[in-house]
A = this chain, B = another copy of it.
């Protein structure tokens, strides 16, 4: 286990009080808190380096460009990208996936084609494909899940029989915590002739990721879910694929020559980064990666698995609580319901003790329908959580039980 109490001292927000309680922040799958090191990186950037990138002939602009490109290389190393120019900075996972749908998808998916997604995909890895398929007259094929919240591999196989143009799935489910066998899925999809997009929003913060080992084609991630600033994220892709793709946004920086009625485009990755990029976001994300690697991704994964295990164990002992998702091959996300207490009521009650959890459909409405619930309560863990937080969760939950008459007050 990590020394979470020590780690918490690095996080200014977690030193605050909430409703007179220490903040027990268990909504890490939504977004994470930021360590002082990341806040310092942002402030330092603005104090010493800020300028627009790539076009300045003065020293400040050169330093800004270097900081920005160093951040790109940092992200590339972190996920073992094919090349730094295969890292395109975006606002987050959602924009990265929309970039692929809007550029690769529009250029390659045709009427009658199939795009495969899964019943556990986040709306951000579903709606862009729905929009694309509607526009093109193509079909969405959603792979079903098993009773215990894993991908149904035989249904995945059946979906591949349609020889889809593209297969998209989450590495880790944000609603169930399931870790999907991403490398195996990518191999099967490639064998069926599909291009593979992995939604890495929940895997990048929590596991050691190697996109080359996964051998996917596109990989999307969000900086704000891994201690980085809001508004940071990336698409990581095979450069040859990016090279062949039409541009996404038009504008400054992504061009080579601009004529009155047409243009030629810049090389990678600039072709996909129109306009002034979020340099601050990139720099902050690089600092977050430094922080995470300082702890070690393997240790982080181990820590979260232990906390999730403890939470599942304690929650399962409460009569009336149902925990969703698989028991193993899972990350630190625990979704549950408690009798007929609506998850929103649970969240409101827990908040009075400073325990922050999410309640709702977690942007996975198709999954909720399959689980036959409208919403769940979800606790998700990170480096600064520990067993005390699990206890705070279950203790506060007992109050909810008492208010709703499940257990004596």
Contacts of A390 in B (CB 8 A): none
A161 CB-CB contact with B under 8 Å: no
A102 CB-CB contact with B under 8 Å: yes
A43 CB-CB contact with B under 8 Å: yes
Contacts of A277 in B (CB 8 A): 91, 230-231
**A300 vs chain B, min Cβ distance (A):** 20
Q: Which residue of B lies closest to A224 (CB)?
A: B276
Assuming the contacts A252-B122, A275-B94, asked whether A58 and B351 have C-beta atoms less than 8 A apart, the reply is yes
* Complex interface: stretch among A30-38, A236-244, A319-327, A399-407: A30-38
* Complex interface: stretch among A44-52, A152-160, A163-171, A330-338: A44-52
**Complex contact A275–B58 (CB within 8 A):** no
B-facing mask of A271-300, CB < 8 A → 1, else 0? 000111111110000000000000000000
Contacts of A39 in B (CB 8 A): 42-43, 46-47
**Complex contact B91–A61 (CB within 8 A):** no
**Complex contact B31–A52 (CB within 8 A):** yes
A18 CB-CB contact with B under 8 Å: yes
**Complex contact B250–A16 (CB within 8 A):** no
Complex CA gap A12/B363 in Å reads: 41
**Complex contact B230–A276 (CB within 8 A):** yes
| CB-CB contacts below 8 Å: A1-60 with B | 12-13, 16, 18-19, 23, 25, 27, 30-31, 33-34, 39, 42-43, 46-48, 50-52, 55-60
Partner of A280 from the list B229, B258, B351, B366 (CB cut-off 8 Å) is B229
B-facing mask of A345-374, CB < 8 A → 1, else 0? 001101100011111100101100000000
Given contacts A19-B59, A58-B350, A127-B263, 7 further A-B contacts (CB under 8 A): A25-B60, A93-B275, A94-B275, A101-B250, A230-B280, A231-B280, A260-B366
